[in-house]
Structure 1
Amino acid sequence: MKNQNQTVINSNIISHNIKLETLNTFLIKPSKPTPPNLKIFKLSLLDQLSPNIHGNSTFFFPNKYSSHSHSSFSHYSKLLQTSLSQTLSLFYPFAGRLQHSTDTRTGTTIHCNDDGVLFIESQTTTTLSQLLTNPDFNTLECFLPVPTTENQNMLLLVRFTLFSCGSTALTISLTHKISDFNTFMTFLNTWTAVCAATPVPLPDLTTASTLFPPRELPEMSASFTPSSKKFTSRRFIFHACKIEELKREIKREIEFFPSRVEVVLALIWRCALSASRSKTRTFKRSVLFQAVNLRPRMDPAVPETAVGNFVWSFVVTVEEECHMALHETVKRMRNGMKEFIENEAKTFKEEGGFKVVMESFKDRVETLIGSENEESVAIYKCSSWCKFPVLEFDFGWGKPVWNCCVNKLVSNTIALMDTKDGDGVEAFVTLDEDDMELFKQDEELLHYAVLNPRIII
């Protein structure tokens, strides 16, 4: 795996009912060398505080034609590789390598040395229809790029898979060290524009470190420990009619119109706590971290094309069981968001912003550490990708029918995104195995949500 044109055959991947055979492995480098003055890329303060773990997203593209062949797959793959090479010239840090300095004043930087990103071609005898009849997260794991000693320092990895029916899957694995979900979407917008030879949206690579300059940090700041317990993920669909029913139920008790994210998240959180409580028969104090995109909430607003981490979490806490009434939880979410935006988010880039960020980060770390040492605290983390057009990307052979993110590292997480029709909510919930067994049978949850229905191609 020395350059874009050299091929290496890797071992096959077998997971549950699916087998993936690796065909070729390429190293994709930027089409233009990075200029010497851009070789060292400074991370922002928020990048410094983000863990160096990869977020994975897989897009599934149905075959629109009655026939298929390896020649079509090869054509698509070459299109992806060529366009990716051109895109990396704009996102040149993605093709570099992290450099950990022993000087804490310098901190971590990215050496933009154009070493490249991994691109894997693979195939499976399974059809896309078989996979999407009952999507299983253990099976979906095999579509992820396999970490090896050769690629473990890469910031970006890609796997392109051919199904026996001619459908394809594209998995993109990008480190959180320099990317939040908005950055990921900006990258995809540029990549697909290059594929289509349409005007290319340019990334903003300077705003992050300008607004949040890197600082000397305590050693614990960027640490991350994967969950030690066994956990599992499940998918739930909240159709628009059920969300409206849930909104009407909650609206009777509050003075504002709740959002679909607020009502769905409140219900999931309550049912997850109920599953956890059933083992101990006691109510656990619970904390919910909700991720917020800071870009539109800064003053002035930060461009959507700004690359890096512009995400922070606000906290919602319930101390007593009576606080878990859905209307009460929704009110706490709304007040928590308002408090964060008005009194905290805007201060991040003001004089003394570093102190505000670090105090907030310290509180978050202490809460997370406390949950590991105190059985009476239940921590949940939520990200919402609703209103992001994740199913609108077209690399040249049509739009995806489904997208999923596989979580292999952290339990008690909730990820929300739009359903294909744009009106409902698709929830990916990850819980400890014992909790999930009870959670997925919760009658209140199943009144509003459908557990893992078939995805229609």
Structure 2
Amino acid sequence: MPSNLDQIAQSVYIPIILCYSPQFGSKTDPTQKHNSLKQSLSETLIPFYPLSGRIKDDFFIDCDNTGVEYVEAQAHAQLSEFLPVEPYSSTGTVKETLLAIQINFFDCGGMAIGINMSHKIADGSSLITFMNAWASKSRGDSKYLGPNFDIDSLFPPRDLSGFIPSAVLSKEKIVTRRFVFDKSKLKILKKSACSGAESIVKDPTRVEAVSAFIWSHFIEVANAKAKMDSKKLFAAVHAVNLRPKMNPPLSDHAFGNLWSFALANAIRKINEDYVKKLQDGDDYLNFLKRSKEQFSRGDLEFCNFSSWCRFPVYEVDYGWGKPVWVCTTAMPFKNVVILMSTRDGDGIDAWVNMVEDNMAMLEHDHKLLSLA
């Protein structure tokens, strides 16, 4: 049964694409890859059985073995031209499938694996847990631990009638751009982030520094477009992984939505006391209600950040080597920023989703372009 954190999660998909160089599979027949991936996926779905079911009434998962969406394609193109799985229908609604996978084989011998997992049942950490479990099966490693679905006992489901959010796909044209911050630029950003007298954090992480930098430019763009509407408030919110914040800490294999929103200046306040209040009280739910009301009135503009920088995405080896590049895809939601580590682990890829007009202003910002 979903936890209450699953219940309030939006009906959207978490997308990720892993690209593998042809050199890793040059001696492996594509048919062998196909058979290995498909067979290992079937075996992996046994312990991850909820992914083969369907959500009913936003309250429970019907584990009816309906199955996952699995597509294979032979792309007569190079690795740089891949096709992600499309999780949304032509009418803009979200499909019922909890897991969708597309395997692309390229003429160059490379391969790309695109995965979409429903946010109603999982968060980014859960997605990576599944990917690594599947990869372990594919390469014949039996040591990988299975998932733990018992989080509903920690965050019991509740009657949230009238509040459960639905996926609201933006009616505006959303565009996505990738901004890359290398190690040297991150050093500059971190120094700049803590140099001002108003700075609260004196030793910001690279994620905090990049988030603050993008947020400041987001505000500049929004203000310029709104002609300095002094009544509008701007809030940067980060998704915070709750697993290491609990007492005792939960394993990375705990499967589900184990995260919480935090305002940018309150990230470090997410601790075991906060989690206990989240389990025992209605504070978080009331915060979401107030934020939703302010957003609906136009009083509040969010910039939503989610960091995947610590996720071991570059360790996902299906038996033909580790990926040469891992990325996310465009999302039909505005003001959403996904942060991922670069392959060398020193830099950050920032995937920014914004309204087209705002992005046109952002991507011509000279200060931004000097550092990204």
TM-score for both structures, normalised by structure 2: 0.91
Aligned pairs (5 A) from 1:191-206: 191-198=134-141, 199-206=143-150
CA, structure 1 residues 155+388, in 2 after alignment: closer, same or farther (shift >3 Å)? Answer: same
Q: Following the alignment from structure 1 to structure 2, what is the Cα–Cα distance between the partners of residues 56 and 338? A: 27
Q: Deviations over 1:10-43 (max 9, x none)?
A: xxxxxxxxxxxxxxxxxxxxxxxxxxxxxxxx11
Structure 1 residues 252 and 73: CA distance shift in structure 2, 3 A: same
Percentage of matched positions with identical amino acids: 32
In the alignment, structure 1 residue 292 sits paired with structure 2 residue 249? no
**C-alpha distance after superposition, 1:200-250 (max 9, x if no partner):** 2111011x1000111111223232211121110000110101111222233
Corresponding residue for residue 271 of structure 2: 341
Residue 147 of structure 1 and its aligned partner are, at CA, apart by: 5.4
Q: CA deviation at 1:447?
A: 1.5
Equivalence for 2:123? 180
The answer on 1:426 being equivalent to 2:369 is: no
Structure 1: any 5+ residue segments left out of the alignment?
Answer: 1-41, 101-106, 132-139, 317-332, 450-457
Instruction: Return closer, same or farther for 1:79/1:66 CA change in 2, 3 Å cut-off.
Output: closer
Q: Which residue pairs with 1:455 in the alignment? A: none
Q: Deviations over 1:343-369 (max 9, x none)?
A: 6333222xx33x233223223322332
3-state SS in 1 of match to 2:45: helix
- Letter aligned with residue 73 of structure 2: S
| Partners of 2:26 and 2:16 in 1: CA distance | 27
Alignment CA distance shift 1:245-1:148 (3 Å)? closer
For residue 41 of structure 2, what is the aligned residue in structure 1?
84
Matching of residue 231 in structure 1 with residue 154 in structure 2 = no
Q: Which has the larger radius of gyration?
A: 1
Find out whether 1:44 has 2:6 as its counterpart. Answer: no
| Counterpart Cα distance in 1 of 2:226 and 2:95 | 40
Aligned in 2, Cα 1:262/1:304: closer, same or farther, shift over 3 Å? same
Distance 1:160 1:435 in 2: 34
Task: Please report the TM-score for the alignment, with normalisation by the length of structure 1.
Answer: 0.75
Which residue does 1:122 correspond to in 2?
73
1:58 matched to 2:17? The reply is yes
- Return the offset for 1:339: 3.3
The size of the alignment, in residue pairs, is 363
SS of the counterpart of 1:446? helix
- Give the counterpart letter for 1:44 in structure 2: S
Q: Which structure's relative contact order is higher, taking Cα pairs within 8 Å and 6+ residues apart?
A: 2
Provide the rounded CA distance (Å) in 1 between the counterparts of 2:24 and 2:131: 25
Deviations 1:401-450 (A, max 9, x none): 1112123321111110111110111100111101111101111111211x
**C-alpha distance in 2, partners of 1:251/1:181?**
29
SS, match of residue 153 in structure 2: helix
Find the counterpart in structure 2 of residue 93 from structure 1.
50
Counterpart amino acid of residue 144 in structure 1: V
Which position in structure 1 is the counterpart of 2:85? 144
Distance 1:200 1:249, change over 3 A: closer
**Contact preservation (8 Å) 1:51, 1:223:** yes
**8 A contact 1:145–1:171 mirrored in 2:** no
Output the CA distance in 1 between the equivalents of 2:24 and 2:118.
35
Query: Which residue in 2 is equivalent to 1:29?
Result: none
Following superposition, the deviation at residue 148 of structure 1 comes to 6.4
User: Which amino acid in structure 1 is aligned with residue 218 of structure 2?
Assistant: A
Match of 1:266 among 180, 205, 212: 212
RMSD across aligned positions (CA): 2.1
Deviation per CA, 1:167-197: give whole Å up to 9, x if none: 1110111100110001111111211111122
Q: Which residue of 1 aligns with 2:60?
A: 109
SS in 2 for 1:210: coil
Q: Find out whether 1:443 has 2:370 as its counterpart.
A: no
Residue 308 of structure 1: aligned partner: 256
Equivalent residues of 1:243, 1:264 under 8 A apart = yes
Question: Partner amino acid for 2:54?
Answer: R
5+ long unaligned stretches in structure 2? none
Residues 446 and 147 (structure 1 numbering): CA distance in 2 closer, same or farther, change over 3 Å? Answer: closer
- Aligned position for 1:135: none
- The 3 A distance-change label for structure 1 pair 66 and 380 is closer
